[in-house]
A and B are shown apart, each in its own frame.
Chain A
């Protein structure tokens, strides 16, 4: 821990950039009271006292318990299913097979290609072939054992390259290749011709488990009017509703989805509640009773989505002074059995296209060429996980930057500085970065705080006995705010009451990131009231406007803007009324700290906010505002991958110091600095929490995490053998927060949820290579992999 941990709460605001962009949500920057303050979270007392209820804590009286019979085969035809014995078991209320789904027998965040109940074939171990609802979980479990299924096994495919080969077993009727996405900028061969050094390397990353602490639990409750209410920990209630309705064969307005506080999500609870709510709703429809499905930890691993594995073949050219001239990459992005969040939502939505766009890194490169294959296999499926395709490609390009630097005899920091984005840079999609580009500033800040040059000079043996070597690593990164689809928008409603109290309706969910604190902060600031005056209505599709999913580091920025617009509508009434009451022009009014006064006469007469609200209400004026905000239009040419896919990016540099035991391959991360350009920190403390947690997750990706699969079967299904970082694995961590205002953001903010996770993994891997010479190109760099990487070199360096 930093000895001066208070010191780290320093937010540095960088010089304001110009720019005359349209569609700005302009707000007064001066005199912010609540935005920018590390106010305490609104719900942490409830959490610290154990009073906050998670889904599993809700009473279960009157509920039936749903269970899923899962396929034991990765790929097989279903010849027959007999559920008659299960139905006869006392306490079983229904046992359903594929034909019993009332509407569309398919769900999915993007394509409905995953059967609610498989009817003719199964595509991964964990696929659901029958559903049971019973009076207790134990009876339901027993009933599963009474179901007889006859399978005809099919050859299975476990490598994306095999899946693409001619004659490969076909997993879906549409073929194994979901898409081949291309990025073409400049002339990559001409770029290689200009290069003095060209390296070709292949990097590989495995499936990862989100390992949120709270296992999934969802339920469906049929309502007297025929509505189906589904509840559970969910990141995307609107996506749940969009799936449950067609599965039941009813219009969207007959499904109500409500979020229950999540015990962690990290992208995983975008997908899994769709699965569980569809299945619970089908059982509830058949029985007419509330049905709850709660997963054990092992079931979570077996059934729910993971981070996509990728194989990334890179070829990169650089001049002898370190300028990148050409970037070429072929990406095999393994989707697994179902499409989930992989496929494209035009122009630039879906994790696969996002990975392609990010794959050359935050660097100016004239010539880029990427072929990115997304394909089905008979493995569990890849979904969203903190970074949505970006962590994988950063692991490739950031290792490549170090390998190029080593080849050139250059410092890894220098080669990055030579190529890093700055204001006005053109990305690999030829997007001009015309605002809020603080990447180089993060490198400078990180370098200074970490003491890069001194520390890299002192890399080498730690002890006289030569058992441990120390090394340092750097990695840079970028991450979008928003999701790049045509439909990326957020709505918010704000109701002001005659006593000055406020209700904020928002569909953005809370999973621990702090949305339920940060969004009311923005609302209170925009209205000029105190934080405690604002009560947030929790996400409920019957009450709150459509807001899209809580993903893509979009919540603060997109919802923040919607809230400001909603507040502005209410302010029109309040401005008019206060102007009458004070006898000044509305433009001169200031709303601040529950007071309303004349800007030009701040010591003169001040009105109470509630006085103005009451007077406006008594005059029949509108005190309900609805804000709606969509980011600037996204574009990406489907043939060339050229365009402006995301409207703003967050930037970051990480530096890690590690010690490697050269005899065992064990790695200890000993120090860590990470700097971010976040636009504006609405709540610096909550933001630091995102940084610290994201880095920890990236460190796990680097050193220990991997879902081990054998013939499609996960071998490490519990937290006993799927290892995530413990307190002992974490180094001292110093977050540095820089603000390069985002002209499109509320008070200048842009996203932070995912960025910290992304450069952390390659920073650690690069430090390991710097320490011991061994480079692990297929993750994780666990002791065994590091041991062999050192042996491949013929032993550690002797200097």
Chain B
């Protein structure tokens, strides 16, 4: 059986994907999209966050077959060739990136939040992103980045 899904806007067809293969393994090892990271393998750190039909999921706990017929967005699908996505830009501008290992997952979680709630307050941001761990930043600048991204997306700042 073929596994067919949309990845970063393009259709992907794969054969012989074992039932137990995680979406993370499929992305990283089969498709070479290493922007999605593995930090713990048990769905606790959020480094492997990707978007499945726009909602954030831990790809280490998601079976590859759960993507069948759906749309997957990874960090590689966010930026254009020239420009950063506003959420990426906000992370860079707010100094929300240190070692960077949690950053792709954090950015996708933030995008998912902002897509559903364009102007979240601090408590909403904290609750939405609490499943993404960061050991470097203390989160302060990440929260700033999400607010800044919201402003960029709403066109309130440039």
Listed in ascending order, the chain A residues whose CB lies under 8 Å from chain B are 1, 5, 38, 40-41, 43-54, 56-57, 210-215, 261-266, 296-297, 511-514, 685-686, 688-689, 691-697, 718-720, 724-728, 730, 733
Whether the Cβ atoms of A213 and B99 lie closer than 8 Å is yes
Is the CB of B107 closer than 8 A to any CB of chain A? Answer: yes
Which residues from 36 to 78 on chain B have a C-beta closer than 8 Å to any C-beta of chain A?
36-42, 44-45, 47, 74-76, 78
The minimal Cβ–Cβ distance linking B43 to chain A, given in whole angstroms, is 8
Which chain A residue shows the least CB distance to B29? A60
Whether the Cβ atoms of A695 and B107 lie closer than 8 Å is no
Decide: A51 near B130, CB < 8 A? Known: A45-B92, A693-B136, A727-B142: no
Contacting residues, chain A, for B137 (C-beta < 8 A): 689, 692-693, 696
CA distance A720 to B132 in the complex (A): 12
Contacting residues, chain B, for A56 (C-beta < 8 A): 34, 37-38
Decide: A728 near B126, CB < 8 A? Known: A44-B97, A264-B135: yes
The minimal Cβ–Cβ distance linking A68 to chain B, given in whole angstroms, is 18
Query: Quick one: which of A214, A692, A696 contacts B101, CB cutoff 8 A?
Result: A214
Is the CB of B84 closer than 8 A to any CB of chain A? Answer: yes
Whether the Cβ atoms of A689 and B100 lie closer than 8 Å is no
CA distance A548 to B37 in the complex (A): 30
Whether the Cβ atoms of B104 and A50 lie closer than 8 Å is yes
The minimal Cβ–Cβ distance linking A724 to chain B, given in whole angstroms, is 6
CA distance A733 to B147 in the complex (A): 16
Is the CB of B98 closer than 8 A to any CB of chain A? Answer: yes
Whether the Cβ atoms of A719 and B44 lie closer than 8 Å is yes
| Closest CB pairs A-B (n = 5) | A50-B35, A512-B99, A47-B100, A263-B101, A696-B138
CA distance A695 to B135 in the complex (A): 11
CA distance A53 to B21 in the complex (A): 23
Which chain B residue shows the least CB distance to A296? B41
The minimal Cβ–Cβ distance linking B128 to chain A, given in whole angstroms, is 9
Whether the Cβ atoms of B45 and A263 lie closer than 8 Å is no
Which chain B residue shows the least CB distance to A58? B34
Decide: A727 near B101, CB < 8 A? Known: A214-B39, A733-B138: no
CA distance A390 to B42 in the complex (A): 33
Whether the Cβ atoms of B122 and A44 lie closer than 8 Å is no
CA distance A104 to B116 in the complex (A): 59
CA distance A691 to B47 in the complex (A): 23
Contacting residues, chain A, for B125 (C-beta < 8 A): 727
Query: Quick one: which of A215, A513, A727, A728 contacts B98, CB cutoff 8 A?
Result: A513
Contacting residues, chain A, for B28 (C-beta < 8 A): 57
Whether the Cβ atoms of A213 and B101 lie closer than 8 Å is yes
Whether the Cβ atoms of A730 and B99 lie closer than 8 Å is no
Whether the Cβ atoms of A693 and B138 lie closer than 8 Å is yes
Contacting residues, chain A, for B36 (C-beta < 8 A): 50
CA distance A53 to B147 in the complex (A): 28
Whether the Cβ atoms of B133 and A297 lie closer than 8 Å is no
Is the CB of B102 closer than 8 A to any CB of chain A? Answer: yes
**Residue contacts A-B, CB under 8 angstroms, 21 given:** A48-B107, A49-B78, A49-B84, A49-B88, A50-B75, A212-B101, A214-B101, A215-B39, A266-B135, A297-B40, A297-B41, A512-B100, A686-B95, A691-B138, A692-B138, A693-B98, A694-B138, A719-B39, A725-B139, A727-B130, A728-B130
Listed in ascending order, the chain B residues whose CB lies under 8 Å from chain A are 28, 33-42, 44-45, 47, 74-76, 78-79, 84, 88, 91-93, 95, 97-104, 107, 122, 125-127, 129-144, 147
Interface class of chain A by DSSP:
loop
Contacting residues, chain B, for A691 (C-beta < 8 A): 138
Whether the Cβ atoms of A54 and B101 lie closer than 8 Å is yes
CA distance A262 to B37 in the complex (A): 13
Contacting residues, chain B, for A726 (C-beta < 8 A): 130-131, 133, 139
Query: Quick one: which of A57, A213, A262, A685 contacts B133, CB cutoff 8 A?
Result: A213
Interface class of chain B by DSSP:
loop
Contacting residues, chain B, for A264 (C-beta < 8 A): 98-99, 101, 135-136
CA distance A444 to B137 in the complex (A): 26
Whether the Cβ atoms of A297 and B39 lie closer than 8 Å is yes
Contacting residues, chain B, for A727 (C-beta < 8 A): 125-126, 129-130, 132, 139, 142-143
CA distance A747 to B104 in the complex (A): 35
CA distance A56 to B25 in the complex (A): 12
Whether the Cβ atoms of B40 and A718 lie closer than 8 Å is yes
The minimal Cβ–Cβ distance linking A40 to chain B, given in whole angstroms, is 7
Contacting residues, chain A, for B107 (C-beta < 8 A): 48
Whether the Cβ atoms of B92 and A54 lie closer than 8 Å is no
Whether the Cβ atoms of A214 and B99 lie closer than 8 Å is yes
CA distance A713 to B94 in the complex (A): 41
Contacting residues, chain B, for A728 (C-beta < 8 A): 126-127, 130
Whether the Cβ atoms of B35 and A730 lie closer than 8 Å is no
Whether the Cβ atoms of A1 and B144 lie closer than 8 Å is yes
The minimal Cβ–Cβ distance linking B103 to chain A, given in whole angstroms, is 5
Given contacts A47-B103, A57-B34, A263-B39, 19 further A-B contacts (CB under 8 A): A1-B147, A38-B95, A44-B91, A44-B97, A47-B97, A48-B97, A48-B103, A213-B37, A213-B39, A213-B45, A213-B99, A215-B38, A215-B39, A264-B99, A512-B100, A686-B95, A718-B42, A719-B42, A726-B139
Whether the Cβ atoms of B141 and A689 lie closer than 8 Å is yes
Whether the Cβ atoms of A48 and B92 lie closer than 8 Å is yes
Contacting residues, chain A, for B140 (C-beta < 8 A): 1, 692, 730, 733
The minimal Cβ–Cβ distance linking A238 to chain B, given in whole angstroms, is 21
Contacting residues, chain A, for B134 (C-beta < 8 A): 213
CA distance A726 to B140 in the complex (A): 11
Whether the Cβ atoms of B37 and A263 lie closer than 8 Å is yes
CA distance A41 to B76 in the complex (A): 20
The minimal Cβ–Cβ distance linking B49 to chain A, given in whole angstroms, is 12
CA distance A1 to B142 in the complex (A): 11
Query: Quick one: which of B42, B76, B78, B99 contacts A511, CB cutoff 8 A?
Result: B99
CA distance A49 to B45 in the complex (A): 19
Whether the Cβ atoms of A730 and B39 lie closer than 8 Å is no
The minimal Cβ–Cβ distance linking B79 to chain A, given in whole angstroms, is 5
Contacting residues, chain B, for A733 (C-beta < 8 A): 138, 140
Whether the Cβ atoms of A263 and B99 lie closer than 8 Å is yes
Most chain B Cβ neighbours within 10 Å, of A296, A511, A692: A692
Whether the Cβ atoms of A214 and B37 lie closer than 8 Å is yes
Contacting residues, chain B, for A695 (C-beta < 8 A): 138
Contacting residues, chain A, for B47 (C-beta < 8 A): 213
Contacting residues, chain A, for B92 (C-beta < 8 A): 40-41, 44-45, 48
CA distance A1 to B99 in the complex (A): 22
Which chain B residue shows the least CB distance to A694? B138
CA distance A404 to B77 in the complex (A): 58
CA distance A520 to B56 in the complex (A): 37
Decide: A48 near B84, CB < 8 A? Known: A213-B47, A263-B101: yes
Contacting residues, chain A, for B129 (C-beta < 8 A): 727
CA distance A41 to B100 in the complex (A): 11
Decide: A719 near B40, CB < 8 A? Known: A213-B47, A266-B135: yes
CA distance A264 to B100 in the complex (A): 8
Query: Quick one: which of B35, B38, B39, B131 contacts A49, CB cutoff 8 A?
Result: B35
Contacting residues, chain B, for A297 (C-beta < 8 A): 39-42
Query: Quick one: which of A45, A212, A261 contacts B135, CB cutoff 8 A?
Result: A212
Whether the Cβ atoms of A720 and B44 lie closer than 8 Å is yes
Query: Quick one: which of A46, A211, A212 contacts B99, CB cutoff 8 A?
Result: A212
Most chain B Cβ neighbours within 10 Å, of A213, A214, A693, A726: A213
The minimal Cβ–Cβ distance linking A266 to chain B, given in whole angstroms, is 7
CA distance A688 to B137 in the complex (A): 9
